[in-house]
Every structure is written in C-alpha cells, then in structure tokens.
C-alpha cells in the first residue's frame, strides 16, 4: 500500500527522511512524483491519483480556489531559499551582492538550473539573469533540466571546467557531489513558502493528514532545518 504524493522537488529530501517513521506508523510507503511545481499541479488537475500535495503556498491557494484541495487541510511546512551550488571538489562561489552574483555567473562556463518556465527556482533564475543584464550573454551556458534535483545531479557529474548551479537550497543539500555555496544576495534572492494540502479526491486522507503532522511537528524541526527549510511567519 502506498500514499500517493505530488510534490515540488524542494520537499523531496524532507519527505524521504520521514518516510521510514511514516511507514512504521501507518504501514504505507510513499510513492509519486517530485518535480517542478507547475508540472505537479497540472498532474493533479489531470486527475492523477493523489493523497497529498506539497507545492508553493501561492499555488496551493490557487488549487484550493479551483476546488482541487481541501482548504482546511492547508498547512505551511517552511520557507526555502534559492541558492548557488558548486561541485564538492570546487571552491565556493562568492556572491555577497548583485555585482558578486553577476561576476560568479559570468565566470562559469556552465550554469545548471531547473525548468525556467515551470519550476519556482528556474523561473526566478531567468528573472535574475535578466535583472543582471546577462541573460543573452549566458544563454548558451544554461543547462536546463526538468527539476532542481536533476540539475544538481548533472552538476555533480559535470566535466565542465567552472560549472555552477542555481536552484532551491533543499535540492542542493539533498544531492551528493554538490555543496551549498550560499543563498542569493539581497535584491536577487527568493524565499518560497512550501505548503502541504490534501486533494479533494484523496483516497487516504487520514494517512495524508498524519504525514502532514509529521512534516510539521516540533520533533521534526531539526530535520526540516537540515533539509534546508527555515521557519516562516504564519500566513
């Protein structure tokens, strides 16, 4: 028996860390997809069997307006910051301000990012490149993947000379072979609240509620922090 999940890639590491405790308590494993939030929302809209969704707060609110998730089940998990990544063997990339970020990106011969049209971090990266005035300059250096976790795996395996990555901190932390090089500087940063909810057509709603309780419990605060989540003010 499985609990079906559709989630942004940002929550994959945290869900994995709590999966053994959830299965021990409920007898259910966790199956489903982790990827760009826009793609996950579209799967829910298309009728994919789903017991729990974990997406951005703004997108969850939209799904509630569409009647696709139970509004009373909506629960914030925490904020996730967009950050830079480098291979574990490479020196950290410094970006203390916008000028430093611009220099770090221009110095890279490959920039690994998630989907720039459907993922939270990827959309933001595209905006930042335009903001810094280097979108055209680095266009041929972009290595775009369906989600941040996949982008980071490819960064870890990259044979480029000076590669860099940019995605959400949780996806960097949970990927072997890459390290977090710092969050994006003021004026270029993005902190996104991730939120869980139960779909209106969930077949295992009570078990989904239990997973939400585990994900947000005080006992899991250290796991959330280790995974890259930071506490946020209640909405």
Question: Is residue 184 scored above 60 in pLDDT?
Answer: yes
pLDDT at site 233: 40
Average pLDDT over residues 125-129: 98
Average pLDDT, the chain: 95
For position 190, what pLDDT does the model report?
A: 95
* Chain centre distance of CA 216: 17
Taking the C-alpha atoms of residue 146 and residue 122, their distance in angstroms, rounded to an integer, is 9
Sign of CA dihedral 209, 19, 45, 117: positive
Residue 1's pLDDT band (cuts 50, 70, 90): confident
Domains delineated in the chain? 2-79+192-230 (3.40.190.10), 80-183 (3.40.190.10)
The 8-class DSSP code of residue 66 comes to T
Is the confidence at residue 232, as pLDDT, over 80?
no
Mean pLDDT of 216-223: 94
> In degrees, to the nearest 5, what angle opens at C-alpha 131 toward C-alphas 194 and 136?
110
As a whole number, mean pLDDT of residues 74-94 equals: 96
Mean pLDDT value of segment 85-112: 97
Residue 231's pLDDT is 74
Q: What is the DSSP string of 107-131?
A: H-SEEEEE-TTTSHHHHHHHHHHHH
Q: Indicate if the pLDDT at residue 234 is higher than 70.
A: no
**170 pLDDT exceeds 60?**
yes
């Amino acid at each position: 028996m499985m609990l079906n999940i559709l989630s942004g890639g940002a929550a994959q590491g945290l869900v994995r860390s709590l999966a053994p405790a959830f299965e021990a308590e409920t007898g259910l494993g966790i199956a489903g997809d982790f990827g760009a939030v826009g793609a996950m929302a579209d799967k829910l809209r298309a009728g994919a069997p789903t017991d729990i969704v974990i997406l951005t707060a703004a997108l969850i609110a939209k799904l509630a307006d569409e009647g696709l998730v139970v509004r009373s089940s909506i629960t914030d998990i925490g904020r996730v910051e967009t950050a830079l990544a480098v291979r574990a063997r490479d020196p950290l990339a410094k970006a203390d301000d916008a000028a430093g970020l611009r220099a770090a990106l221009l110095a890279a011969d490959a920039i690994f990012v998630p989907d720039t049209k459907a993922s939270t971090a990827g959309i933001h990266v595209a905006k930042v490149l335009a903001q810094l005035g280097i979108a055209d300059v680095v266009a041929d250096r972009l290595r775009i993947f369906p989600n941040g976790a996949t982008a980071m795996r490819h960064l870890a395996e990259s044979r480029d000379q000076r590669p860099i990555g940019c995605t959400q901190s949780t996806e960097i932390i949970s990927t072997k072979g890459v390290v977090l090089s710092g969050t994006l500087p003021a004026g270029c940063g993005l902190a996104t609240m991730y939120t869980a909810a139960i779909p209106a057509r969930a077949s295992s709603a009570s078990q989904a509620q239990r997973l939400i309780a585990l994900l947000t419990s005080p006992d899991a605060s250290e796991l959330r922090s280790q995974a890259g989540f930071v506490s946020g003010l209640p909405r």
